[in-house]
Chain A
Amino acid sequence: MTSIDPQRPAAEPVKGESAVRTEALTKLYADAKRGEVRALDGLDLDCKYGEIYGLLGPNGAGKSTTLRILATMLAPTSGRATVAGYDVASDSLAVRRNVGFLSASTGLYPRLDVRETLEYFGRMHGLEERALADRIDELIEAFRMDSYVTRRCEHMSSGQKQRVSIARAVLHDPTVLILDEPTTGLDILSTSDMIDFIASRKDSGRCVLFSTHVLSEAERLCDRIGIIHHGRLLGSGTLPELRERTGAEYLDGIFRAFVEVDERAHIA
């Protein structure tokens, strides 16, 4: 029997402390033809509060699997992961209270309007009615949603939907925001809005962990970048650190250098 206290999350972020941490995180899948597939192969990550961390990798590298494990949607096969100090396996409810999650495939209920959508998820987070109403007003203003606040999601443009989705993800003011390829499928304006939003989260001392395969986004936004390939973290650091390690100037060169080393190691 569990109950959810209608309170704010207890853990207050302290800048520079670990917000997301994984140790030897492994996720195994099996494939009839390929045999056992390691979607994650001993992944070690460490993202801090007040930091935007970009997980960079090609399709199938294990980015989504990592983020879904961190959002408690998938169970790791082995290894350990903590988010906001809570273990994803043994304390998943606490993790979910401290995490905002958004992915490119996230949808909205077509027949609910902005306020109803936010109320529904706000109540799930245990927000008090008065506080919830205030918070929704605040978000409607912040994301400039006043003009379509009573419009059902099915009648919104993709940009409008995107804003509602972001508002939904930060409704409970999570200390850790996990975004899985958040700009996939967005037009230029919506992408730009999203990038501004991600940048804005850093100031409040929150941690943003996001995955992308768009190098320019990572270059522009990230304090640190993790390069993931074949389910392993090949390298991690600030852009200057990565440049120094690989001798490449731009992120595509850096990325290529890491992958080539890895593939050589695989062949060997």
Chain B
Amino acid sequence: MTTSSRPGAGGSGARASGGRSVVALVARGELLRLLRDRKAVFFALVLPLLLYPLLFLGSEKLGQASERRMEDQSVAIAANLEALDGDLRQQLLDRLPAPDGATFSIADELLEGLTDGAAPEAGAVGEDASNAGGDDHSGEDAQRERASELLEELAVDLLLVARPSDSEGSPPVIVAWFRRNDESGMRASQLIGSAVSDLSTTLFEARLVELLGVDPAQSFAATSEDVASVADSAGLALGKLLPLIAVLVVLSGGAFAALEAFAAEREVGTLETLLVQPVERIDIARGKLIAVLATGLAAWIGNAASLIACAAGGLLATIDEGLADAPVAVLIGRVGLGTVIMLPTIALIASVLGMVSARARSYREGQNYILPLTLAGMALASPAAAADVVFDPLLALIPVLGPSLAMRDALAGSLAPVPALVALASSAVYALLALRGIANTLDAERLLQGADVDAEAGARRAHARRAILWGGVGVGAVLLIGSWLQSKDLVWGLVATLWGLALGIALLAARDLGKKLDLRPAAVLGLTGGSPVGVGLGVCGALLAGPGLGQMAGKVLELQERVLPMPTVDAGAMEQVFAALLDRPLIVALFLVAISPAICEELLFRGAVLTGLRRDLSVGKTLGWQALLFALAHGSVHRLVPTASLGLILGLLRLRTGSILPCIALHASYNGVLVAATQMDPEGRAASLLQHPAWMLATIAGLALALLPRQAAVESTTPTTPTKPNAVPTADRQP
């Protein structure tokens, strides 16, 4: 007899027949079916394997083809250099590029009509025979015509003629006749031009040495020597490419498995069959996830192996010459270390792919979701390609980016252990959170109901729309009335904005939404939710994580500056505002910058708005909407990313702890660091302490402490499992 039958709740390690685990059964089934899909196998597994050989062989072939083309473009030059003295003529002939495909012939015909002294300018080399203009230069015109005729007659691209010096002391003139509108003629003139220029430089330098005994320009010589090992240089070159390629290969390989395992099930109609089997849905989801993970990992391992094989075969010399000589064992070691660092990220990518694919109604719809995901992955991994993005513990915390930078440095043999640990630990936490998220992916109600659920969702969104409306009212009031108030008097305006507008709207929204949701206003605001232990842990974790996250936001802004630099006027204005607020007694500054926003903004966005949204929307949409509103309320495009990210973390905190108190704690400590940094630490000692890896680990620990134990959810009417009752604790119900 079973003890619990809540699909999707717990139940890991459930056994099917013969002691087999359901997870393994599902994973094996998924992989078997995927391996029988030739298209998926080709794109997910074979293509990553062939990528490098194709790319490098292709580029080699391309190089060869272009060389052949150059040969085909050989130019024909007819020359008469009789007028030059023997030594000079030989030096010029030595420089003429016969081996590069120029055919060179001596033609006596050139002496007729082209060697007269009516040259355009002494010393000039090029003369365009196609340009038959001019009025009283009849001699010149005659020469042009003659040159044009000779080009035809001799079937050459260029005529090279040396005219004898017409007076004592003046040098002989070398004239090249060609047609500008003929590609070969242009090429021939360039060849001649560079030969003549090289010759004249050599003659000039030789003359200087002859006169002065030494070239005055060469008072000293400088040279540099690279002492990095061959492996390190090769790793550096690979490090710029591989993290991005790894993320893309895992994304594309995993996408095939994810679409097959989640989206295609719905399209083919097997999901229904699967969901009436007597196994926990979480186990089915986990089995599918393992298949996605295995495929993504296999795609990457195949790709990496093919890269190493190409390196061993000397095909990679086009990327970096060192790659041709790098020892294969070292490359295997470094790519292996990079892969280990990437493992949690690969798990994270697999989970996200699974969650996204499960939301698609069809394979095609799923494919549409994969594209933005790929772009996001690229955006996060690409800073690793820039050598000047330093891998520090703050960046290490950012999902995908941190591990990408770690992989880059691991390949170059310069991996700093502490940021690497931070990247590993944080990405493991993200992967763990995503793995927990996979539990709800096979939420039958949403997946099976199809059109009915669409209609249902439409009406359900009535609560969410109301919550968004209240959020919008809050944003509008803060931006319009609030900034007007603050322009009148910064401090009192800010107090009025937060304690008057934001809090007032939060309370009104709580009252209004409470009526609709059948909850007391305090419950809507999140003041009564969560268990004391859970809320306590949440508050402690939040206080621990806040300062580090604050520092991280600074880092994100720095990175963002590269792409979207803040206009100096805005930056200056913002600095003035901050300076004016922070330049107060400590307690006042803390009240204005840390405590007031923490209480008032949290009650509005994470309190009333989030509760209303969550009643109708999925976790993802709830988090997204409230984070967006929260970010908009800050009224700055440049601060959108950090504030929205903070909003997401705060929202998650509210959803997981069920209480607003940890959010207030996190928000206050996040902002509080700014006050503390300015007032108590003008030299920035504490700030550097906050960037210390140990503090980063503390930040991760704080987040884990606050987020991982799930104590109480914010109630949703979207049933995530068929058996979930829509119960609200009776104490919270309106009397």
Report which A residues bind B (CB closer than 8 A). 1-4, 6, 10, 29-37, 39, 65, 68, 71-75, 77, 88-97, 99, 101, 103, 105-112, 116, 120-129, 132, 152, 168
Contact = CB atoms under 8 A, between A and B. Distances in A.
A75 B11 CA distance: 19
Given A91-B5, A109-B29, 19 more contacts: A1-B13, A2-B4, A2-B11, A2-B280, A3-B15, A4-B2, A4-B15, A4-B278, A29-B459, A31-B458, A65-B452, A73-B275, A73-B444, A91-B2, A93-B278, A107-B273, A116-B32, A123-B17, A123-B25
B456 interface: yes
Contact of A126 (B15, B268, B269, B458): B15
A75 B722 contact: yes
A123 to B, nearest CB: 5
A10 B268 CA distance: 33
Given A32-B458, A73-B272, A123-B20, A39 B452 contact: yes
Interface in B5-30: 5-7, 10-20, 22, 25, 29
B272 A105 contact: yes
B515 interface: no
Nearest to B18: A129
A72 B7 contact: yes
Given A30-B462, A74-B444, A74-B448, A128 B276 contact: no
B306 interface: no
A258 B230 CA distance: 88
A243 to B, nearest CB: 34
Given A105-B272, A127-B17, A132-B17, A1 B10 contact: yes
Interface in B710-730: 719, 721-726
Given A2-B11, A73-B444, A107-B269, A94 B459 contact: no
Contacts of B460: 30
B22 A36 contact: no
Contacts of B18: 6, 123, 128-129
Contacts of B12: 1
Nearest to A69: B722
8 contacts: A2-B4, A29-B452, A31-B456, A73-B722, A75-B445, A93-B5, A93-B279, A123-B17
B3 interface: yes
Contacts of A2: 2-5, 10-11, 14, 280
Contacts of B725: 89
A75 B723 contact: yes
Interface string B442-465: 001100110011011011111000
Nearest to A76: B722
Contacts of A71: 276
B1 interface: yes
B723 A92 contact: yes
Given A29-B456, A30-B456, A75 B721 contact: yes
Nearest to B19: A6
A74 B456 CA distance: 14
B14 to A, nearest CB: 6
B270 interface: yes
A2 B723 CA distance: 16
Given A35-B459, A71-B276, A75-B722, A94 B2 contact: yes
Contacts of A168: 273
Nearest to B449: A74
Contacts of A6: 15-19
Given A1-B11, A74-B445, A92-B722, A106 B17 contact: no
Contacts of B3: 2
Contact of A99 (B33, B36, B276): B276
A126 B462 contact: no
Contacts of A128: 17-18
A129 B14 CA distance: 17
Which among B5, B7, B280 has the highest number of chain A CB atoms within 10 Å? B5
A228 B501 CA distance: 53
A77 B718 CA distance: 11
Contacts of B36: 111, 152
B723 A124 contact: no
B166 interface: no
B722 A89 contact: yes
Q: Report the 10 A-B pairs with minimum CB-CB distance, sorted nearest first.
A: A107-B269, A30-B459, A32-B458, A75-B722, A92-B5, A97-B278, A96-B278, A111-B36, A29-B456, A93-B5
Contacts of A75: 445, 719, 721-724
Which among A94, A111, A127 has the highest number of chain B CB atoms within 10 Å? A111
Contact of A111 (B20, B33, B277, B455): B33
A218 B15 CA distance: 40
A73 B14 CA distance: 19
Contacts of A125: 16-17, 277-278
A32 B2 contact: no
Contacts of B7: 72, 92-93
A40 B36 CA distance: 42
B489 interface: no
Nearest to B3: A2
Interface in B428-449: 444-445, 448-449
Contacts of B270: 106-109
Contacts of B16: 4, 6, 123-126
Nearest to A9: B278
B570 interface: no
Contacts of A108: 268, 270, 273
Nearest to A60: B452
B108 interface: no
B14 A4 contact: yes
A107 B276 contact: no
B455 A29 contact: yes
Contacts of A74: 444-445, 448-449, 722
B37 interface: yes
Contact of B723 (A36, A90, A103, A120): A90
A196 to B, nearest CB: 22
A3 B279 CA distance: 9
B244 to A, nearest CB: 33
A66 B182 CA distance: 82
Nearest to B16: A123
B29 A103 contact: no
B701 to A, nearest CB: 27
A97 to B, nearest CB: 4
A89 B4 CA distance: 10
Contacts of A127: 17
Given A1-B11, A71-B276, A92-B723, A106 B269 contact: yes
A126 B721 contact: no
B279 A31 contact: no
Nearest to B37: A111
Nearest to B455: A31
A30 B460 CA distance: 6
A120 B29 contact: yes
Nearest to B9: A2
A249 B396 CA distance: 78
Contacts of B459: 29-32, 35-36
Nearest to A99: B276
A83 to B, nearest CB: 11
A90 B269 contact: no
Contacts of A152: 36
A137 to B, nearest CB: 16
A95 to B, nearest CB: 8
Contacts of B32: 112, 116
Contacts of A31: 455-456, 458-459
Contacts of B461: 32
Contacts of B280: 2, 93
B723 A89 contact: yes
A79 to B, nearest CB: 13
Given A31-B458, A68-B448, A74-B445, A121 B15 contact: no
